[in-house]
Amino acid sequence: MKPYRYAILTSPLPAAIGMVRLWGQNLDALFEGRLPEKGEAHRLVRLRNADQGLAAWSADGSLLFTPHGGAGVRDAVEDVLKAFGFERVSAPGVDEDFARGMNRYQRAALAILPSVASEAQLRVVLRAMGQTSAPAGFDRHAFVSDWPLVKRWLSIPRVVIAGAPNAGKSTLFNALASQGHAIVSDTPGTTRDVLGAIWPLRNGAVVEVFDTAGLREHGASMVEAEGMRRARAAIDDADLRLVLQEHGLGRPALSGVLVATKCDSGERPSWAEIGISVHNGVGMEELAKAVEANLFPLLPDRVLPLSEAMADDAKAAGFEERWFGSKGLHNGQ
């Protein structure tokens, strides 16, 4: 075996950071910037032209270098190391190093970590890795088997705004989506394409919200008909539909959260769950709450990213004791 060795420890890239462990004499020569002194936690150094990152000495005398976690950075780091005569040694890193001692349950959470898209998801995943504790009142029994709910927290659900032409769909979309700029006009049949944007909710989760073409039975041109076809496909694909209808008209035929629009003076027809006016803000908070309640009926603190198969591992690893204490559980809902 060569005296100069390295191992890539990162789980499958891309990730926020990469991890490379280096063994060898005189590693200073590789880096621009001084390596940490004895007893010093870490230092920011540059590995030639590959990348800069933190360097820290390990107890076994190896150096842990953490550059950025892109595949391109990893290749550049490997090029530099190979040019200096380093040999790559196999270390299925997650097994051997970073995740040493982790069970299947924690590893699953680790694998999800690079694709975490919201603060709420991060909380779910970090808790799975045992880095934070469960809050008082957490009811394990409600969640261990509720994998679809957990998956929802770990994905970005699709919320589709649907309804008749001119109902106010694009106006609502623009209000919800900070980056969305759908055309709004009082001509029915304005929207043709499906437009998507991120809508951050107050519970820390994010959803993707979609504006669609208005649906009507008759009189649509060919282009509008294609718009409606796309709208229906998006509606079929939705995790949640917001079905909009002007407050003066009857109950819409589509199922979903029924929202009466243009309720500028607070009026709400009996068929509607919520009455909104984007123009003066009526019902907007209620609408956001309804979306949260439908898609995320539980707060992230109440969600365990456990599949049923993983639950046994979690128990075996003593999670129960660590998270719930020895006094047992109670349902704090």
Ligand X SMILES: Nc1nc2c(ncn2[C@@H]2O[C@H](COP(=O)(O)OP(=O)(O)OP(=O)(O)O)[C@@H](O)[C@H]2O)c(=O)[nH]1
Query: Using CB under 5 A as the criterion, which residues of the chain lie in contact with Mg ion when the complex forms?
Result: 169-170, 190-191
Q: Would you state the structure tokens that stand for residue 158, as one six-digit string? A: 């699709």
Judged by CB under 6 A, which of 62, 170, 203, 245 binds ligand X? Answer: 170
- Residue number of the CB closest to ligand X reads 214
245 binds, among ligand X, Mg ion, none (CB under 5 to 8 A by kind): none
Nearer to ligand X, 106 or 190 (CB): 190
Binding site partner of 331, from Mg ion, ligand X, none, Cβ cut-off 5-8 A by kind: none
Of residues 170 and 261, the one with the C-beta less far from Mg ion: 170
Residue 67: both structure tokens together: 């550059």
Residue 165 binds which entry of ligand X, Mg ion, none, CB below 5-8 Å type-dependent? ligand X
Is the Cβ of residue 106 or residue 191 nearer to ligand X in the bound state?
Answer: 191
Q: Beta strands of the chain (E only): which ranges? A: 5-8, 15-17, 20-23, 31-32, 43-47, 51-57, 63-66, 68-69, 87-88, 158-163, 195-200, 206-211, 240-246, 257-261, 274-275
107 binds, among Mg ion, ligand X, none (CB under 5 to 8 A by kind): none
Please identify, using beta-carbon distances, which residue of 51 and 224 lies nearer to Mg ion.
Answer: 224
- Region of residue 318 (phi > 0: left; psi between -120 and 50: alpha; otherwise: beta): left
Could you tell me the smallest distance in angstroms from the CB atom of residue 157 to ligand X?
Answer: 21
Q: Which among Mg ion, ligand X, none contacts residue 269 (Cβ within 5 to 8 A by kind)?
A: none
- Residue 11 or 170: the one with the smaller Cβ distance to Mg ion is 170
CA distance 85 to 16: 27
191 binds ligand X (CB under 6 A): yes
| Tally: H helices and E strands in the chain | 11, 15
Q: How far is the CB of 160 from ligand X (least distance, A)?
A: 13
Minimum CB separation of residue 294 from ligand X in Å reads: 21
Q: Which is nearer to ligand X, 139 or 286 (CB)?
A: 286
DSSP classification of residue 283: T
Among positions 277, 287, 296, 311, the unique one binding ligand X when judged by CB under 6 A: 277
Q: Which residues contact 329 (CB under 8 A, 6 or more apart)?
A: 138, 139, 140, 141
Question: Contact between 121 and ligand X (CB under 6 A)?
Answer: no
Residue ranges in 65-195 assigned as alpha helix (H): 71-83, 93-96, 104-112, 119-128, 140-143, 147-153, 169-176
Q: In DSSP terms, which residues pair with 234 in a beta bridge? A: none
Q: How far apart are CA 77 and CA 267, in angstroms?
A: 63
Residues lying near ligand X in the complex (CB under 6 A) are found at 165-171, 184-186, 188-191, 213-214, 261-262, 264, 277-279
